[in-house]
Amino acid sequence: MRIIPAIDIIDGKCVRLSKGDYNTKIIYNENPLEVAKEFEAHGIEYLHLVDLDGAKSSQIVNYKILEQIASKTKLKIDFGGGLKSDADLKIAFESGANQITGGSIAVKNRAIFEKWIAEYGADKIILGADANNEKVAVSGWLEDSDEDLIPFIQEYQNKGIQYVICTDIAKDGMLEGPSFDLYKKILDECNFNSSLSSRAQSGGEIKLIASGGISTFDELPKLAELGCEGIIIGKAIYEGRISMKQLEQYIM
């Protein structure tokens, strides 16, 4: 299972929120590059970088931070937040993103998101399926949609999506443990219970990246056992609940 630390950006600074509420912002470091370099120094290979200003805006905002981290580390970066147009996507990839995550766009403009999957390939485009009571949330989690989470994922699975990041918003930043039951349900219904014919049509099983609520190191092997392909860890690192040494040893 891949370990993917998160850096969330507001005003160019490394922050964390609770349940996606911008009023709960805590600044952990004024210099995101410094944080990224520390991750890399401990053997981390992947980074989840989120432009929270962009998520609230109508376009990508903090792409200069992406550019800086991509040019000064070897981290493989997935970038999300504010990707609303072909121009935004071009900026993200030109700034050094290895993958991009589309959440709101996948709900509000399916045609463009499906075009991205077709043009860039399923290895470059991640579906951001963030949930509030199993309904997909959009616009930096400021809005709920009418989309039911699992049918939403399955629909894009049939369009060729492989990577899915799912955050249970009720858990995010709360350090109360991840949504094991929700992730099991997603994997069961999208992968293990799908027929061979439908898998062949969709291009394969989804690679689920769990996010939100991680609080202790012991939760990692449990998520791996469920079948999660990756795990995004944010506040647990910044609050010292999970040490970089523990992650370094897990990766080795």
- pLDDT, tens only, 99-129: 999 988 999 999 999 999 999 999 999 999 9
Identify the CATH assignment for 2-251 out of 3.40.50.1100, 3.60.90.10, 3.20.20.70, 3.30.465.10. Answer: 3.20.20.70
- pLDDT of 193 over the 70 cut: no
* pLDDT (0 to 100) of residue 199: 44
Q: How far apart are CA 22 and CA 120, in angstroms?
A: 32
Least trusted range by pLDDT, from 17-21, 75-79, 88-92, 210-214 = 17-21
Assess contact for 137 and 203: CB atoms under 8 A. no
Mean per-residue pLDDT, 74-83: 95
- pLDDT of 10 over the 70 cut: yes
The SS3 of residue 78 is strand
* pLDDT (0 to 100) of residue 172: 66
* pLDDT (0 to 100) of residue 197: 42
| pTM reported for the whole predicted model | 0.91
- For the chain, helix, strand, coil in percent to 5 are 40, 30, 35
Mean per-residue pLDDT, 215-241: 95
List all residues 6 or more positions away from 47 whose beta carbon is below 8 Å from its beta carbon.
Answer: 4, 5, 6, 7, 36, 39, 69, 73, 75, 76, 77, 78
Domain assignments of the chain as residue spans, ordered by start: 2-251
Active-site residue list: 8, 130
Token reading at 208: 């689920």
- pLDDT of 192 over the 90 cut: no
> 31-76 pLDDT, tens per residue?
999 999 999 999 999 999 999 999 888 799 999 999 999 999 999 9
